[in-house]
Chains A and B, each alone.
Chain A
């Protein structure tokens, strides 16, 4: 081993980090070279000083004040985190509730709208256009009859509409059939005569309502036939 090689690995002898072969070669070199021996001894002395310096601060540690500050910071951070998390959860909960409410409202509105359309369209489809061939004719006949007869009687048997006094025959496309339940006596308000013995009966009445919203004709469904006029 040369002095240069010893300078590279020789100082590891003391720390025990040298390879065993290198260590053996280095110890042989130390026996032969006074320069490297002096260097090694100086290093050992310095190492002892370094270890002593290390021992002086071996028990050194941060002050309790540092721990207190860190714990305080830890608490603050976690409190803030919990608050933020609560706000986050609350925010999302409110948003979810609003979305749920919106969906429920929309579904409800949509269902009502569908029902309204069905209520509006179904009778027209069933009674309006379907009876298009018969309604105008019958209405025309009824109009003629109403003009010729002073007392109008709702027809129970035919199932067709009876034009109310002073009403014009409605255009079938504009007419709407409204199913109502009323006391028989209320038919008097429409200009019809009513059997007073049954005036208090509740009956099902179909009203043909024009586009002005006023009833134009009336029909008593078959179910009420038994109760009579």
Chain B
């Protein structure tokens, strides 16, 4: 399935490179959401995420030969390009941690109020999500991207390694460090009992 998907991507890209607008549009629709989500979760800004999506696909329009099918799937390639753009964006605005929670369509990204929830529980949940979102956005970029890919995107370590073009071991160690930082930021360790058995086997 994965192979046929890649083959379809390659065929679409070839047609797109020859000026087939429909092929380009299909290619865009197949991949834009994943790139947008990755950028949104990394930057916390839908505006920045959209700019990054534009940059990524403009690169595909202008320099389609930059993608080498022998090195991996088009999706992983687009993740790599998006990652570079995101890093540049974060370098330009290192302190710009946006808590933008609304999409362009005006849909608010808050926990949905369910029938079983009391308003107090809903407020608590919403605040908790905001804390988590802020904690993720406050992570250093290299840890943030692994947390975003493995926890929010629910990619496997292998998929994340391909997307970030690094060894699985690097993903594992960054994810471990990212999780520890997240737990620390959210002060979730404060209730943990002292390690009485820290040296115990």
Interface residues in chain A, defined as those with a beta carbon under 8 Å from any beta carbon in chain B: 1-4, 7-8, 11-12, 15, 17, 32-35, 38-39, 42-43, 45-47, 49-54, 56-58, 60-63, 65-67, 69-71, 73-75, 77-78, 81-82
B37 touches A49 (CB 8 A): no
Chain A residue contacts of B199, Cβ below 8 A: 2
B18 to chain A minimum Cβ distance, whole angstroms, is 9
Chain A residue contacts of B189, Cβ below 8 A: 39, 42
Chain A residue contacts of B37, Cβ below 8 A: 57-58, 60-61
B188 touches A45 (CB 8 A): yes
Interface string of B97-108 (1 = CB under 8 A from A): 000000111000
B36 to chain A minimum Cβ distance, whole angstroms, is 5
Cα A75 to Cα B61 with chains together (Å):
10
B111 touches A52 (CB 8 A): yes
Chain B residue contacts of A71, Cβ below 8 A: 21, 24-25
Chain A residue contacts of B32, Cβ below 8 A: 61-62, 66-67
Check A1/B57 contact, CB under 8 A, given A45-B188, A54-B153.
no
B179's nearest neighbour on chain A, judged by CB, is: A11
User: Which one of B71-79, B85-93, B114-122, B129-137 is at the A interface?
Assistant: B129-137
Chain A residue contacts of B12, Cβ below 8 A: none
B11 within 8 A of A: no
Interface string of B47-87 (1 = CB under 8 A from A): 00110011001100110000000000000000000000000
Cα A60 to Cα B152 with chains together (Å):
13
A81 touches B33 (CB 8 A): no
B147 within 8 A of A: yes
A35 touches B49 (CB 8 A): no
B192 touches A38 (CB 8 A): yes
